[in-house]
Amino acid sequence: MGKLILVFRSIGNLLMMLFTVSVFRFTKGNYGLKYAQQTFFIFGGKPGTLASKILRKKRNFKLNHVEHNLSSEIDYKTIDSKLKQQGFAVEKKFLSQESVKSIKDFSLKNLGAYRETDKGEGALANILFDPSDPKAIRYDYSPSTVLACTDVQKVLSDKRVLAIAQNYLGGEPILDFVAMWWHTKSLKPDSNAAQLFHFDMDRLRWIKFFFYVTDVGIDNGPHVYVPSSHHDNALPFSLRKRGYVRHSDKDVARHFPESNWKFFTGEAGTMIAEDTRGLHKGAHVLRGNRLLFQLQFTSALYGKSEEPDNMALNSSVLTKELRHAIGEFPHIYQKVKILN
């Protein structure tokens, strides 16, 4: 009898997968996003993982390929196995101190916007960030502004980043978005500023790269991750059934002991590669201001609708490196729009 139940359950799972994947194949835009999210809430991730495997594009370049001059200082195999097992991998000193300085200088000379806090205060657009006088908890730059930064473009065209993304996604990655923001000192975490635990869910499968541009100690709002919470079915149904919401530390600790949470402290230049389908947050800042920038690569563009010109870049600020990379890997940079 037990065996029969097992067989029925397996057949049921298979049918559910086939149905889900066929719907994934034909739904588009925000309708697809809703479908991907609902499927995740109900089934816990397997259908999304399977659909990602079907929709991704085959590998374009091989690791350590001489032609691509991949740095031997990076242990790609270890990074990949850490990502797969724990959901994250860290590389200290990934950015040079010159790059860090240049990105920070860029951030202080370009306009961004303060994000409205949970209390509904602080929204301010087209304003410079003054580290000595921040106006709200989170200050963001538009993707096009971030793209215009020469040293961000260097990272975007860095084969080490592309190789890590490709290995993890098992296919040629697509640059999905770029972001950069400041977190400033606050008395308590702000949900709008992504300072409460949550999982991301814009695509089927993706990988994010966080780069610290300021030194981040335990008081400076370290990024926090719940190891191994990115696996299929790792999140309990009691959390998933709440939908796409923020979760309190207490609720997360009920399922994942706090002693296992990973707090990423590190000097400016540290890179954290992470599958943000796992639970994560930016701890609120107790001292100073924290600047980081972030890249997301996805296996397929199924899910969130594209905002036109979201990643537009004026050709006058396009670096030689990125121009070359776009020519070499058009699939990866298909969302970057070069304006003349």
Q: Which residues bind Fe ion (CB under 5 A)?
A: 200
Separation in Å, CA 78 to CA 101, 164, 168, 312: 29, 10, 11, 35
Shorter beta-carbon distance to Fe ion: residue 200 or 251:
200
Helical (H) or strand (E) element with 138 = strand 138-141
Shorter beta-carbon distance to Fe ion: residue 200 or 215:
200
Sequence-ordered alpha helix ranges (H) in 157-276: 159-169, 237-240, 249-255
Give, rounded to a whole angstrom, the gap between the first and last alpha carbons of the chain. 69
Counting runs of H as helices and runs of E as strands, what totals does the chain give?
A: 11, 13
Q: How far is the CB of 179 from Fe ion (least distance, A)?
A: 10
Q: How far apart are CA 57 and CA 331, in angstroms?
A: 9
Cβ contact 116:122 at 8 Å = yes
Residue nearest to Fe ion (CB): 200
Q: How far apart are CA 232 and CA 238, in angstroms?
A: 15
Q: How far is the CB of 40 from Fe ion (least distance, A)?
A: 15
Q: How far is the CB of 324 from Fe ion (least distance, A)?
A: 31
Selection from 125, 152, 153, 151 nearest residue 139 by Cα: 125
Q: How far is the CB of 208 from Fe ion (least distance, A)?
A: 8
Q: How far is the CB of 276 from Fe ion (least distance, A)?
A: 5
